[in-house]
C-alpha cells in the first residue's frame, strides 16, 4: 500500500470519527447531547424534567404580530401558562426524538388548552419534547398536567393589573415561599429582551423538586425585568 493510499485512508478514518461525534453531540457546536433514541424510556432516556411556565403577557409583547392569536387575541386572561415539560440531561437536552407514537389527536389537544393556550403550542411541544419522554401523547400530557398542578403560583403573580418592574430574584423567592421544598437552585427565571418571560422549574421523573445546576446558571441576570399586565378578562 503506497503513501498516497495510506493518506486517503487516514482522511476517511477522520471523517468517520467526526461523523460519529456529530451524531453523539449534535452538529451545531453547542456540545449538547443529541436526541434520545426511539427506544428511550422515562427510566433511561433522560435525567430529569424542566417545567417551563411562560408569563403569557410577556410572550405576547415579545412576539408582537407574530404571536399566536389563539393565545394573545382571545380575550382570555392568561397569566402563567405551561410552555412545556422538557426531558433534560444534566448537561443539554434531547429534542425531536424519533417516535412511533403518532401525533396527539384533536380531543387531546383541546383538553390541554386550559393550561397550554394554543393548539399549535401543544402540537409543537409534543414533537420537540414529548417524543423524548418515552410516553404516549396521552401519558405525556397527563404528566404535563400533573407537573403544573404541583406548582403553586405565588398570589402576587397570579394576575397583574398593571405593568410591573420586578427583580428576577424576587420572583424566585416568591415561588420558593409558595412551594415548600422548592429551592432557589431548582428554578430559574428567564428574560426575553427586557421582559421577564418564563419561570423554569426542575423536577425529578416522579415530579419532585430537584436542583439543576445548568438551568440555574442560565437564569436571567437583569437587575430588573418588566412583567406586562394580564390581557382581557
In tens, the pLDDT along 49-92 reads: 999 999 999 999 999 999 999 999 988 899 999 999 999 999 99
Q: Mark 34-72 as b/e (b = at least 16 C-beta within 10 Å).
A: bbbeeebebeebbebbbbbbbbbbbbbbbeeeebbeebb
* pTM confidence score: 0.81
At residue 75, the pLDDT reads: 85
Please list the active-site residues.
83, 125, 129
Q: Read off the pLDDT of residues 129-180 as tens digits, 9 standing for 90 and up.
A: 999 999 999 999 999 999 999 999 999 999 999 999 999 999 999 999 999 9
Q: Which domains does the chain have, with CATH numbers?
A: 39-227 (3.90.730.10)
At residue 232, the pLDDT reads: 78
Q: Read off the pLDDT of residues 10-33 as tens digits, 9 standing for 90 and up.
A: 444 333 333 333 333 332 222 233
Which grid coordinates are listed for 137? 401523547
Mean pLDDT to the nearest integer, 223-227: 97
pLDDT at 196 > cutoff 70: yes
- Is 98 within 8 Å of 37 (Cβ atoms)? yes
pLDDT at 122 > cutoff 70: yes
At residue 139, the pLDDT reads: 97
The band of 233, judged by pLDDT with boundaries at 50, 70 and 90, is low
Amino acid at each position: 500500500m503506497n503513501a498516497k493510499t495510506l493518506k486517503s485512508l487516514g482522511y476517511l478514518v477522520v471523517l468517520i470519527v467526526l461523523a460519529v461525534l456529530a451524531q453523539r453531540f449534535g452538529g451545531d457546536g453547542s456540545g449538547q447531547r443529541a436526541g434520545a433514541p426511539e427506544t428511550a424510556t422515562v427510566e433511561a432516556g433522560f435525567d430529569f424534567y424542566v417545567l417551563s411556565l411562560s408569563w403569557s403577557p410577556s410572550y405576547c409583547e415579545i412576539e408582537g404580530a407574530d404571536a399566536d392569536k389563539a393565545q394573545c387575541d382571545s380575550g382570555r386572561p392568561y397569566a402563567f401558562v405551561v410552555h412545556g415539560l422538557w426531558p433534560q440531561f444534566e448537561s443539554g437536552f434531547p429534542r425531536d426524538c424519533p417516535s412511533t407514537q403518532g401525533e396527539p389527536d384533536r380531543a387531546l389537544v383541546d383538553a390541554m388548552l386550559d393550561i397550554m393556550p394554543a393548539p399549535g403550542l401543544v402540537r409543537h411541544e409534543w414533537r420537540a419534547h414529548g417524543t423524548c419522554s418515552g410516553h404516549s401523547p396521552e401519558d405525556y400530557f397527563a404528566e404535563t398536567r400533573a407537573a403544573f398542578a404541583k406548582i403553586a403560583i405565588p398570589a402576587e403573580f397570579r394576575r397583574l393589573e398593571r405593568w410591573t418592574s420586578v427583580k428576577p430574584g424576587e420572583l424566585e423567592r416568591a415561588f420558593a415561599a409558595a412551594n415548600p421544598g422548592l429551592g432557589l437552585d431548582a428554578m430559574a427565571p428567564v428574560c426575553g429582551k427586557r421582559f421577564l418571560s418564563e419561570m423554569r422549574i426542575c423536577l425529578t421523573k416522579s415530579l419532585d423538586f430537584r436542583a439543576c445546576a445548568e438551568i440555574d446558571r442560565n437564569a436571567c441576570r437583569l437587575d430588573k425585568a418588566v412583567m406586562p399586565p394580564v390581557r382581557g378578562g
